[in-house]
Structure 1
């Protein structure tokens, strides 16, 4: 039984074996549902989420636009929160999704907001 979800989980576990976030260089984790996108900055050493943003945040949900446009806004919002915390560099965790479409848009928005990958 190798469904799409199980396939993504296998890829995700492989990615997580290779990358880990610290408080200086946290992991930027992406989760994509059918309707929304969620991103977090995670310190894996201490097991803490440092900042988070999603397309359900009031200021982003109120905007009109496609899911890709909103994903870019989510990336920019997370970059703003990261700069307030003094975080300049992150490790990107695409969560088993292809680096394409909404996942790429989040990364582009975060880069434009000033985060280094």
Structure 2
């Protein structure tokens, strides 16, 4: 039941995004991890990605030397992804929340990317 609601919402969102012809930043979250990928405008190739499983993420956690909650981890993933996007000289992306509500971890990623100067 819940999964059907997300699928319907996802289709509606994806249809609006495809009309814009911009690079698409998709987000997926599980109970433990969060993943973010930047696709090119037609959705065939992944330009860059970041997740809580990446080596660069784990290095940042070690630098901070404290326990982070899921929302703080999502914000850190957004910062890492924003650095990778800047390295590719991309200024603007379209944020695809993949059917999830714009709240909590999803919002934390979007806010950290906006804070780093990427327009979404």
Q: What runs of 5+ residues in structure 2 fail to find an aligned partner? A: 62-66
Which structure 1 residue ranges, 4+ long, deviate > 4 Å from structure 2?
A: none
Q: How many residues align?
A: 113
The CA deviation at 1:60 is: 2.2
- Kindly report which structure 2 residues correspond to 1:1-117, keeping only aligned pairs within 5 A, or say none: 3-20=1-18, 22=21, 25-45=22-42, 47-61=44-58, 63=61, 64-117=67-120
CA RMSD of aligned residues (A): 1.5
- Hey, which of these two has a bigger chunk of helix by percent? 2
CA distance in 1 between partners of 2:43 and 2:72 (Å): 33
TM-score under structure 2 length normalisation: 0.87
Whether the aligned pair in 1 keeps the contact of 2:24 and 2:43 (CA below 8 Å) is no
Deviates more, 1:77-86 or 1:39-48: 39-48
TM-score under structure 1 length normalisation: 0.89
Q: What runs of 5+ residues in structure 1 fail to find an aligned partner? A: none
